[in-house]
């Protein structure tokens, strides 16, 4: 810890009081997360923004799609600032809005009602496209409820961009492998054959998270061999071969609860971003043995450092807030609110 950055941050927090709220995703490093007022998984963070009535400034330590969502849910007069605005999400970049729109137009050209369900790990512009096509968004914490909802709305669902979360959620809902197909999004959607996909209820975008792709079935099997009593919990962005071999899978907050509720003395291997696993290992040291299934770090989450947070707070009144064009925000909020209404 750099004492002067920590002191700067804490002094500004004291001085600004309830007018300043620092939010942080669970994947933020310990030096940043120690200064947050609120932390959570993507769903919890989105929900919490609506309750921050006294806050004038919301400083969001996370990646761009999270800060954008917060900016769209913030009240008039509140500003959302992202300390590292260049921190994007590799998975969200795999589904650019014009391509999502082109693919949806092609899938629906013959009158088929395909409902898009976008993982919250997408740009605001994608959420707006999804809303215009009658769809909604989901997070890892409510993907099953939202996929069930989407399947009931039309005669097919386009789940994007995470094919792994799509497969894992479909597995949890009992959808057979023949009821899903990967969509070919090459050539701006021109390569896909809507007629061949017409009878398939769940269409999956071919995206994934590079951080969670590093977890392999062989790593779970190696743990089982070494320590048959050990528990394995993973994030549902991992490949289905990993999730099906784990004892449990769920959002980052689910993983935290799973470790909290594991018996004293348990060894728990965790398949998610390393900052969270290291923090759990420290928090439970001497009581439970928490280990990474494999050390995998999200380079974008790591862009928010204690130094960057201190500099942001020093400059708070002059810094450029996160903005989303009005027409995009108007439609994207419809998709987000559909989710918040369905998952109260």
Binding site for ligand SF4 (CB under 6 A): 63, 89-91, 121, 209, 211, 237, 273, 298, 300-301
H helices of the chain, in order, are 3-16, 30-33, 42-49, 64-73, 90-93, 97-108, 124-132, 143-153, 163-173, 194-197, 210-213, 217-226, 240-243, 252-261, 274-283, 306-314, 326-342
Which of ligand SF4, ligand 13P, none interacts with 42 (beta carbon under 5 to 8 A by kind)?
ligand 13P
Question: β-strand 156-160 against 202-204: which pairing, if any?
Answer: parallel
How many amino acids of this chain bind ligand 13P (CB under 6 A)?
11
Which of ligand SF4, ligand 13P, none interacts with 300 (beta carbon under 5 to 8 A by kind)?
ligand SF4
- Compare residues 139 and 169 and give the one whose CB is closer to ligand 13P: 139
Query: Any contact of residue 300 with ligand 13P (CB under 6 A)?
Result: no
Nearest distance in Å: CB 45, ligand 13P: 8
Contact 107, 197 (CB under 8 A): yes
- Nearest Cα to 299, choosing from 278, 274, 321? 274
- Compare residues 41 and 101 and give the one whose CB is closer to ligand 13P: 41
Nearest distance in Å: CB 134, ligand 13P: 24
Query: Any contact of residue 69 with ligand 13P (CB under 6 A)?
Result: no
Angle between helices 252-261 and 274-283 (to 10 degrees): 20
x/- track of binding to ligand 13P for residues 167-206 (CB under 6 A): ----------------------------------------
Q: Which residues on neighbouring strands pair with residue 268, listed in sequence order? A: 231, 290
Which of ligand 13P, ligand SF4, none interacts with 124 (beta carbon under 5 to 8 A by kind)?
none
Which of ligand SF4, ligand 13P, none interacts with 90 (beta carbon under 5 to 8 A by kind)?
ligand SF4
Calculate the alpha carbon distances from 118 to 162, 174, 276, 312 in Å.
9, 20, 25, 31
């Amino acid at each position: 810890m750099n004492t002067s950055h920590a002191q700067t941050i804490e002094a500004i927090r004291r001085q600004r009081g309830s007018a300043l709220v620092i939010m942080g995703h669970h994947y933020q490093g310990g030096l940043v997360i120690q200064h947050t007022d609120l932390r959570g998984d993507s769903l919890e963070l989105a929900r919490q923004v609506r309750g921050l009535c006294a806050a004038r400034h919301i400083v969001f330590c996370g990646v761009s799609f999270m800060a954008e969502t917060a900016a769209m849910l913030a009240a008039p007069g509140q500003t959302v600032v992202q300390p590292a605005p260049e921190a994007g999400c590799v998975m969200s970049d795999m589904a650019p809005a014009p391509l999502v729109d082109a693919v949806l137009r092609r899938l629906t050209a013959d009158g088929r009602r395909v409902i898009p369900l976008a993982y919250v790990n997408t740009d605001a512009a994608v959420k707006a496209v999804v809303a215009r096509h009658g769809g909604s968004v989901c997070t890892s914490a409510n993907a099953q409820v939202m996929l069930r909802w989407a399947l009931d709305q039309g005669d097919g669902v386009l789940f994007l961009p995470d094919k792994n979360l799509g497969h894992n959620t479909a597995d949890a809902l009992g959808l057979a492998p023949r009821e899903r197909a990967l969509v070919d999004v090459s050539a701006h959607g021109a390569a896909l054959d809507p007629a061949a996909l017409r009878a398939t209820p769940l269409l999956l975008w071919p995206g994934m998270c590079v951080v969670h792709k590093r977890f392999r079935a062989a790593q779970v099997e190696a743990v089982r061999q070494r320590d048959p009593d050990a528990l394995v919990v993973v994030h549902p962005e991992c490949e289905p071969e990993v999730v099906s071999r784990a004892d449990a899978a769920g959002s980052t907050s689910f993983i935290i609860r799973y470790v909290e509720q594991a018996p004293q003395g348990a060894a728990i291997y965790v398949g998610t971003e390393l900052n969270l696993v290291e923090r759990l290992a420290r928090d439970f040291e001497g009581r439970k043995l928490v280990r990474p299934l494999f050390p995998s770090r999200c380079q974008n989450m790591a862009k928010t450092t204690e130094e960057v947070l201190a500099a942001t707070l020093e400059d708070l009144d002059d810094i450029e807030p996160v903005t989303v064009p009005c027409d995009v925000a108007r439609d994207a909020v419809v998709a987000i609110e559909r989710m918040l209404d369905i998952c109260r």
